[in-house]
């Protein structure tokens, strides 16, 4: 079972991620699953009727707006980084947290590397599925790369100039 960082700890991941081309027929009634956005948009009804818990994942080119009205149905929202240098999911994260007030787990998936964790955390992520060849225990340290920040963001509602 993959380990992920959740909060400030490394924990086993109990969720099953479904690929973009997964089909509804494959699903069991129980078990916690994270479904691709397209599946949610098409089969919301059936997914809500399952017993297991539900999450959804958005690719970098998919928009937070498309699930803005559905947030109550998700225990997890995962945002994909197809490559770590694709920064779109940072904006999606902030929209989900700051604009749509999403309170559940917000997880980064895909090409997630330790040197980006600090930024992710600031944008509202609280769980990180590091790329498999990376050690999540070592990566924990990077959540604290900086002891001070200038801007307001999800983790710190006031910019430094309102605190200094």
Partner 1 sequence: MYIYDEYDQRIVEDRAKQFRDQVRRYLAGEFSEAEFLPLRLQNGLYIQRYAPMLRIAVPYGVLSSERLRKLAHIARHYDKGFAHITTRQNIHFNWPNLEDVPDILEELASVQMHAIQTSGNCIRNTTTDQFAGVAADELIDPRPWCEIVRQWSTFHPEFAFLPRKFKIAINGAEEDRAVIGIHDIGLNAVRNEAGELGFQVLVGGGLGRTPMVGAEIRSFLPWPHLLTYLEAILRVYNRYGRRDNKFKARIKILVKALTPEVFAEKVEAEWQNLKDGSATLTEAELQRVSKYFVSPELESFAGDDAGYLDKRSSDNGFNNWATRNVQAHRAPGYAAVTLSLKQTSIAPGDISAEQLDAAAELADQYSLGEIRSTHYQNLVLPYVRQQDLYELWQKCRELGFATPNIGLLTDIICCPGGDFCSLANAKSIPIAESIQAQFDDLDYLYDIGDMELNISGCMNACGHHHVGHIGILGVDKKGEEFYQVSLGGKSGRDAAIGKILGPSFAAIQMPTVVQKLIDVYVENRTPEERFIDTYERIGMAPFKERVYAADN
Residues that bind partner 1 (CB under 8 A): 63, 84-88, 90-92, 94, 99, 113, 115-116, 118-123, 145-153, 157-162, 164
Going along 62-122, which residue ranges are E strands?
Answer: 76-81, 105-110
- Residue closer to partner 1, measured from CB, 107 or 121: 121
Per DSSP, what are the bridge partners of residue 40?
Answer: none
Q: Which is nearer to partner 1, 45 or 164 (CB)?
A: 164
Q: Smallest distance from the beta carbon of 77 to partner 1, in angstroms?
A: 17
Handedness of CA 114, 18, 64, 99 (dihedral sign): negative
**Strand bridging mode 127-128 / 3-6:** antiparallel
Q: Is 162 helix (H, G, I), strand (E, B) or coil?
A: helix
Pick between residue 32 and residue 118 the one whose CB is nearest to partner 1.
118
CA 154 – CA 164 distance, rounded (Å) = 19
Nearer to partner 1, 6 or 94 (CB): 94
Minimal distance, residue 136 CB to partner 1, in Å: 14
CB of 33 to partner 1, least distance (A): 27
Q: Give the shortest CB-75-to-partner 1 separation in angstroms.
A: 24
Beta bridge partners of 81: 110
């Amino acid at each position: 079972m993959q380990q992920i960082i959740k909060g400030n700890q490394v924990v086993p991941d109990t969720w099953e991620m479904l690929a973009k081309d997964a089909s509804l027929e494959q699903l069991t009634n129980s078990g916690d699953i994270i479904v691709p956005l397209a599946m949610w948009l098409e089969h919301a009804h059936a997914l809500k009727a399952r017993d297991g818990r539900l999450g959804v994942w958005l690719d970098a080119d998919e928009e937070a707006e498309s699930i803005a009205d559905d947030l109550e149905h998700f225990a997890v929202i995962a945002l994909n980084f197809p490559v770590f240098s694709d920064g779109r999911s940072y904006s999606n994260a902030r929209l989900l947290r700051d604009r749509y007030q999403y309170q559940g787990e917000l997880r980064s998936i895909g090409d997630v590397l330790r040197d980006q964790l600090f930024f992710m955390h600031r944008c509202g992520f609280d769980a990180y599925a590091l790329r498999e060849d990376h050690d999540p225990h070592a990566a924990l340290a990077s959540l604290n790369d900086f002891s001070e920040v200038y801007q307001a963001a999800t983790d710190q509602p006031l910019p430094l100039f309102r605190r200094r």
